[in-house]
Amino acid sequence: MSFRQYLLLAVAGILIAALFLLLPSEKTITLQIEGQPLVISTTARTVEQALAEAGFTLQEEDQVSPAPGMLIRDGETINLTQAMRVTLWDNGQPTTFSTTQRLPAVWLAQAGLTLGTEDRLLVNTLPHSPDQPVPFQPTVSVEVRRAVRITVESDGETILLQSSAATLGQALYEAGYTLTASDVLLPGAETPLEQDLAATWTPGRSITIQIGDQTIAATTSRQTVGKALAQAGLPLQGLDYSLPEADAPLPEDGAITLVRVTEEFILDQNTIPFTVSYQPLPEVEIDNFQVTQPGQVGIQAQRIRIRYEDGEETTRVVEQQWTLREPVTQIEGYGTMIVIRTEQTPDGPIEYWRKIEVWATSYSPCNAGFDYCSYTTSSGASVRKGLIAVKLDWYLAMAGDSVYVSSYGPAIIADVGPGWVGRYWIDVAYEDDEYIPWAKWVTLYFTTPVPPEDQIMYVLTTR
């Protein structure tokens, strides 16, 4: 083989070797990103290409090892620490820089800042320790909140605070002071702490509010009963009242009674009863009646005010009353014509001018319903058979009249008894030794002679 041939073979070998070096080959490498290993397969030749293939674009401030332009081999480990864009605020002034450091303490040092004892650090608006690393994120907002001096006057006591809290209320809470909804804090709890601040704090008093059967516990900073109720969310409304009164100072024991008052008006209708008047009817026989004019009830309207206290009715007052319809008197005609008739009885024929059915009872001197014996009638005669008692209005009109009682016999109206509600009634007399107790319906005949007209009771009553 000639020298020229050896030379050609050598050149061809070199070209083939170079070609193999230039052709991509797959490698398995480990990416250490923020200390977390990520194993990938890649055909990249350099560190920068491998990171780009894995989705990481290098920034100028990032730290990478080996260097971005270095060739990589199978089994290579690439370490990447990414830079974060930090904006650091102090007293409203921002400082912005990029860094691969993760400790806020280092960032503060880079910015030439220090934290006071009561100052606080906020990372992305959340409290954060300067010595606690911040996980990677492309941008970070860091705020240095400087403590301010707070003077709070409360019930004669002066509270001095140094706080970097966001608001006055938060500063008090962090110092161990709990605000309630009834406390009065001036300025308010949401006041931002941007500079030294003076405040007054009036804590609420404990009170109890009684509403009917319900007892409500509350606190208040108000000085009068009415304002305390309003602060507790139970204001006096309309006709409501309180004990003590609304403008009275709070009682020493804090006990308040709240009475809820409502009123309603109703329209009511009542009937007005009609009266009955009587007219004599000479052409009609006695004890017969005819209605010559029917009665009609009237109608009366009322406007009534009803007052309720805690749901219970306390008063009902008629405020206005008027008549919608007047009652119409009923006119009843009663017969005054006397007709003489006769009747056969076990005691012989009788002549009578009136007869009615009555409820009859019997009595004797010692069986008259008293705890003693009474031997004399209202007329002065001795109690004996042949005398009867009637109720008082009958007696006043008929005393001494002759009658005949079926199942008893002839008699004289001579005594007064209690009567029987709803019935015509008589009480027939006996002497004690012949007394027969009985009670039943009988026929009462008014026998002749007929009394004078002005002594006749044309309308008999049952009361």
Q: Residue 188, class by beta-carbon neighbours within 10 Å (0-12 exposed, 13-18 middle, 19+ buried)?
A: exposed
DSSP characters over 326-364? --B-EEEEEEEE---EEEEETTEEEEEEEEEEEEEEEE-
pLDDT digits 0-9 by tens, 403-460: 999 999 999 999 999 999 999 999 999 999 999 999 999 999 999 999 999 999 999 9
Name the pLDDT band for 341 (thresholds 50, 70, 90): very high
pLDDT digits 0-9 by tens, 10-67: 555 555 444 444 456 788 888 888 778 988 888 888 988 888 888 888 888 888 888 8
% residues pLDDT > 70 (the chain): 95
pLDDT digits 0-9 by tens, 274-333: 999 999 999 999 999 999 999 999 999 999 999 999 999 999 999 999 999 999 999 999
pLDDT digits 0-9 by tens, 166-191: 898 888 898 898 888 778 888 988 99
pLDDT digits 0-9 by tens, 126-151: 899 998 999 988 899 988 988 889 99
DSSP characters over 110-143? HTT----SS-EEEETTEE--TTS-----SEEEEE
Structure-token match 């009715």, residue found: 313
Q: Who has greater pLDDT, 203 or 378?
A: 378
Q: Find the radius of gyration of the CA atoms of the chain.
A: 60
SS3 400: coil
The overall average pLDDT reported for the chain is 89
At residue 388, the pLDDT reads 98
Q: What global pTM score does this model have?
A: 0.45
At residue 21, the pLDDT reads 45
Tell me the fold of 338-455: Barwin-like endoglucanases (2.40.40)
Give the integer Cα–Cα distance in Å for 149 and 168.
Answer: 11
Q: What is 205-259's CATH number?
A: 3.10.20
At residue 358, the pLDDT reads 97
At residue 346, the pLDDT reads 95
Tell me which of 2.60.40.420, 3.10.20.30, 1.20.120.450, 3.40.50.1370 is the CATH number of domain 24-81.
3.10.20.30
Residue 8 has pLDDT above 70, yes or no: no
Kindly state the DSSP code that residue 424 receives in the 8-state scheme.
-
Kindly state the DSSP code that residue 101 receives in the 8-state scheme.
-
Provide CB contacts within 8 A for 126, sequence distance 6+: none
CB atoms within 10 A of CB 447: 19
Q: Is the dihedral of CA 217, 220, 226, 230 positive or negative?
A: negative
Greatest mean pLDDT range, 69-73, 228-232, 393-397? 393-397
Residues of the chain with CATH 2.20.230.10: 264-334
At residue 117, the pLDDT reads 87
Q: Who has greater pLDDT, 288 or 105?
A: 288
Q: What is 148-202's CATH number?
A: 3.10.20.90
Residues of the chain with CATH 3.10.20.90: 84-145, 148-202
At residue 15, the pLDDT reads 52
Provide CB contacts within 8 A for 161, sequence distance 6+: 149, 150, 151, 152, 171, 172, 175
Question: Is 84-145 assigned to CATH 3.10.20.90?
Answer: yes
Question: Which CB contacts under 8 angstroms, 24+ apart, belong to 307-313?
Answer: 307/239, 307/261, 307/262, 307/263, 308/261, 308/262, 308/263, 308/264, 309/259, 309/260, 309/261, 310/211, 310/212, 310/259, 310/260, 311/212, 311/260
Q: Who has greater pLDDT, 119 or 284?
A: 284
Q: What is the mean pLDDT of residues 247-264?
A: 93
Q: How are strands ordered across the β-sheet holding 27-33?
A: 36-42, 27-33, 77-81, 63-65
- φ and ψ of 184, to 5 deg: -115, 115
At residue 184, the pLDDT reads 85
At residue 6, the pLDDT reads 56
Residues of the chain with CATH 2.40.40: 338-455
Residues of the chain with CATH 3.10.20.30: 24-81
Give the integer Cα–Cα distance in Å for 392 and 412.
Answer: 15
At residue 177, the pLDDT reads 86
Structure-token match 């002749």, residue found: 448
At residue 19, the pLDDT reads 42
Residue 350 has pLDDT above 70, yes or no: yes
- CATH class of the domain defined by 264-334: mainly beta
* Opening angle at CA 201, ends 227 and 197, nearest 5: 135
Torsion from C-alpha of 393, 399, 401, 404, nearest 10 degrees: 70
At residue 16, the pLDDT reads 44
Residue 394 has pLDDT above 60, yes or no: yes
At residue 24, the pLDDT reads 60
At residue 22, the pLDDT reads 47
